Amino acid sequence: MSIKRVIISGGGTGGHIYPAISIANAMKEIDPSLEFLFVGAEGKMEMEKVPKAGFKIIGLPIVGIQRTQVWKNIFFPFKLAKSLFLSAKILKDFKPDVAVGVGGYASGPLLLAARFLGIPYFIQEQNSFAGITNKALASKAEHIFVAYPGMERFFPAQKITLSGNPVRKDLLESVGKREQAAAHFHLDPAVKTILIIGGSQGARTINQGIMAGLDRLREAGVQVIWQTGIAFESTAKKAAEGISSAYVSAFIYEMDLAYAMADLVISRAGASSVSEICLLGKASILVPLPSAAEDHQTENAKSLVSQNAAILVRDTEVKEQLISKALKAIQSDVSTLEKNSLRLAKPNAAHEIAQSILHA
């Protein structure tokens, strides 16, 4: 098919947004004449992040299904119906040759409308346990790009390509930047350093575990770069007051430098975080978010642990185990974890996905 206009839908978290932007950038590198339009969910991260990346985005009023506070789903059918109507209008106005869905709230109505209008669409699934939206739309997709083996249990086998997850290109530039990173974070380049990342919103359990163990980390001579999320920033900064070996911030924009400084990463097990850790060959302790849909973060973590590429600490075990396991790991040889995580990386994922879509 001849492709000139591409519409990309999805979002809700950085785990959906960054792969979507990476795919668009890769497609643009192959064919600079392509026109792009993103469709996201109103009020979510993508409405800020996508324009910053240089792409136009339109928001839909769609929301996610509440699995705990079920009564909140009373308005879901109305928001879905309105989002379907708006999606059809967006598609008729923009006239894309192809649609790409990366999961998340907005992906569902947009791809469903594309299906009704006969517009071919592709799916990219970041997690090892497929999301409800992607599973529902898989049967009519042109192709499905996945990051983990064994996804035939969710999708038609003949439509699957094991491509890996697209990640931010700037992260690849982290190699050899330790001195620069140390200067940026006001830390010592010669001292072992733990990077704590809880996703774009922070991770309360991890944050509380780190706060409780700050003194132990300092006494062990370990530095920390601690991304707290906005809600926990002031609490964390107060706890770290006077500790020169701790850098605390709500959000770290210079992630290439943060990874360059990291000897060990403590993170949730979202798809993007796991892919970044593997791409850079970092040793990690993964703490899956237990409330993630279908517990997909635990599945993501297990896929690394089974390859001896990461250490798993469950959310309920953080208080008792996180600091002890972090100190044990960083004070020993982590080269096996680093080597195995790097072995799982797929650095050309965005380009391979872009090529497949453009030459379908």
- Both 12 and 127 in one domain: the answer is yes
Residue 13 among known ligand-binding residues: yes
The CATH number linked to 139 is 3.40.50.2000
d(CA 241, CA 246): 9
Domain co-membership, 192 together with 142:
no
pLDDT for res 202: 60
336 and 188 belong to one structural domain: yes
Distance in angstroms (rounded) separating the CA atoms of residues 149 and 245: 40
Q: Which residues pair with 38 in a beta bridge?
A: 8, 57
Residue 324: the pLDDT is 97
Phi/psi region, residue 72 (left: phi>0; alpha: psi -120 to 50; beta: rest), is alpha
Has residue 127 got a pLDDT over 90?
no
CB 26 within 8 Å of CB 353: yes
What is the predicted pLDDT for the residue at 176?
83
- What distance in Å separates the CA atoms of residue 21 and residue 27, rounded to the nearest whole number? 10
What total of structural domains would you count in the chain?
2
Residue 68 has what pLDDT? Answer: 64
Residue 200 above 60 pLDDT?
no
My answer on whether 103 and 151 are in the same domain is yes
Q: How far apart are CA 303 and CA 300, in angstroms?
A: 5
Max mean pLDDT among 28-42, 119-133, 163-177 falls in 28-42
Does residue 211 share a domain with residue 305? yes
b/e 38-63 (16+ beta carbons within 10 angstroms → b): bbbbbebbbbebbeebebebbbbbbb
pLDDT digits (tens, 9 = 90+) for 159-187: 999 999 988 777 777 778 999 999 999 99
Between CA 148 and CA 151 the distance in angstroms is 7
Predicted local distance difference test score (pLDDT) of residue 158: 96
Q: Is 308 annotated as a binding residue?
A: no
> Is 298 part of any known ligand binding site?
no
SS3 105: coil
Q: Could you tell me which residues are beta bridge partners of residue 143? A: 122
Nearest to 233 by CA among 261, 264, 265, 202: 202
Q: Which tens digits make up the pLDDT trace of 302-328?
A: 999 999 999 999 999 999 999 999 999
Q: Tell me the H-state helices in the chain.
A: 14-30, 46-52, 76-94, 107-116, 132-137, 178-185, 204-219, 233-239, 255-261, 271-279, 296-305, 318-330, 335-343, 349-358
Do 277 and 160 share a domain, yes or no? no
Which tens digit of pLDDT belongs to each residue from 38-94?
A: 999 898 888 988 999 999 999 998 876 666 666 667 777 788 899 999 999 999 999
Q: Are 90 and 222 in a shared domain? A: no
110 with 133, same domain: the answer is yes
Structural domain harbouring 286: 170-343
Domain co-membership, 142 together with 251: no
297 is in an annotated binding site: yes
Residues 102, 232 share a domain: no
Residue 200 labeled ligand binder: yes
**Cβ neighbours of residue 171 closer than 8 Å, sequence gap 6 or more:** 255, 256, 259, 276, 279, 280
**When comparing pLDDT for 193 and 47, which is higher?**
193
Same domain, 144 and 200: no
Does 32 lie in the same domain as 160? yes
Among the listed residues 213, 224, 203, the one whose alpha carbon sits nearest the alpha carbon of residue 268:
203
Q: What pLDDT shows up at residue 148?
A: 87
Q: How far lies 258's CA from each of 52, 264, 294, in Å?
A: 21, 11, 30
- For 229-240, write each residue's pLDDT tens digit: 989 999 999 999
